Amino acid sequence: MPVWLLIYPVNAKHFGPFKSSFGPIIVEKMSGPFHHPWALAFLPIKNTYLVTERIGSLRLVRNGRISKPISGVPNVWASGQGGLLDVVVDQNFNHNNRIFFCYSEKVGKEKGRTTLATGLLMLGDDAPSIQNMRILFRQYPATRETNHFGSRIVLTDDGKLFLTLGDRGNRHLVQDLSNHFGKVIRINKDGTVPKDNPFLGQNNALPEIWSYGHRNPQGAVKKNNKNLFYTVSHGAAGGDEINLLQPGKNFGWPDVSYGTHYDGRPFPHATRSDVVPPLLFWDPSIAPSGAAFYEGIKFKSWNGNLFVGALRGQAISRILVKDGTAKEVERMLSGKFGRIRDVRIGPDDTIWFSTDYENGGIYRIKPYM
């Protein structure tokens, strides 16, 4: 029988073993501290990855060494839940050095908006930089509220780009297609609008919109072997959702949701015929954030499962997604590492995550033994 004790070697970077359905696992601290790390993105270079800090810094980590803030990052409106948020690496990075990132951009004296940009990441020897930065998308309109930015980016194999956008505290405008609040947008990598977007050419609808009725989707992920796109969204006191996105569809917020408002009031509807229901919902809320499908070999029994980080829930939720359904089957590391912001699958087929604190870190989960 294994002995479930916490291991503290001299460098205090390995933790566990911990129980899981796979068997005993250990957690290894890979780098840190970072100031509220929000996203993690791997480069196609051994032991090299990017980390965004919400205060506005982008860091390069090579062989465990953390760079100074990368130059060329634009000014960031780090207010409330806003800041430097997601970052992804182009599939052809080896040939074009391109990355994509989103951030909250200040507008005037009191307002801000979610902005999506691209640039060339030049690694250099000791001073990495972003060059030829270009804005691809700006949320409309700007607003004073500093919450619910959404801001997960997904690249598709056919050269498209999805970006999730929260309601920014303006839930009464989410069902209106003339703004970007509570929407998922789809654009080409050059910022133009694809010709097959569902609202292109429709009066009083912004052409970038792919779907609407979202509250605060801080998780988004594509299942590679199926080319399906999922979002993971915060509810209020309850009603966190996993949704399978469909073009032009309404996902209900704020009229249709499970759970309750923070003041205890119920929502008008839990279901409605014109609204796509979630595959899974949590009530009460776990405050889900980053998510990743496992498609590796180290954890064979978890292949095809979705892993979702939880802020309030302080755990990683394992979700079985099959035949248009989703079911939570396990919560891992509950309370062991605190608020989990992002989850990614590493090039070594291990599961990586970040913790959302002023001294947050980057960790990976490995099989024990």
The per-residue pLDDT for range 120-153, each reduced to its tens digit, is 999 977 789 999 999 999 999 999 999 999 999 9
Backbone angles phi and psi of 300, in degrees to 5: -60, -35
- Residue 306 domain-assigned (yes or no): no
Mean pLDDT of 14-33: 96
pLDDT at 59 over 90: yes
Q: Mean pLDDT across the chain, nearest whole number? A: 94
Element containing residue 93 per DSSP (H, E): helix 93-96
Backbone angles phi and psi of 192, in degrees to 5: -80, 165
- Residue 196 domain-assigned (yes or no): no
pLDDT at 254 over 60: yes
Task: Quickly state the pLDDT bin for 323 (edges 50, 70, 90).
Answer: confident
Mean pLDDT of 298-312: 97
pLDDT at 10 over 80: no
What single-letter DSSP state applies at residue 170? -
pLDDT value of position 229: 94
pLDDT value of position 3: 35
- Residue 260 domain-assigned (yes or no): no
Sign (positive or negative) of CA dihedral 245, 137, 340, 262: negative
Give the span between the Cα atoms of 215 and 211, in whole angstroms.
12
Mean pLDDT of 307-328: 95
- Using an 8 Å Cβ cutoff, are 307 and 314 in contact? no
Task: Quickly state the pLDDT bin for 12 (edges 50, 70, 90).
Answer: low
Which residues face 87 on adjacent strands? 101
CA distances from 263 to 213, 260, 282, 333 (A): 21, 8, 18, 30
pLDDT at 95 over 90: yes
Which residue of the set 14, 36, 95, 148 is catalytic? Answer: 148
Give the span between the Cα atoms of 22 and 20, in whole angstroms.
5
Give the span between the Cα atoms of 159 and 190, in whole angstroms.
9
- Residue 138 domain-assigned (yes or no): yes
- Residue 25 domain-assigned (yes or no): no
- Residue 109 domain-assigned (yes or no): yes
- Residue 74 domain-assigned (yes or no): yes
pLDDT at 7 over 50: no
- Residue 75 domain-assigned (yes or no): yes
Q: How many domains does the chain have?
A: 1
Whether pTM exceeds 0.85:
yes
pLDDT at 8 over 50: no
Q: Is 180 a catalytic residue?
A: no
Mean pLDDT of 36-53: 97
Mean pLDDT of 335-350: 97
Task: Quickly state the pLDDT bin for 369 (edges 50, 70, 90).
Answer: confident
For tokens 């930015």, the residue is 149
The range of the structural domain enclosing residue 50 comes to: 35-146
- Give the model confidence (pLDDT) of 282-293 as tens digits: 999 999 999 999
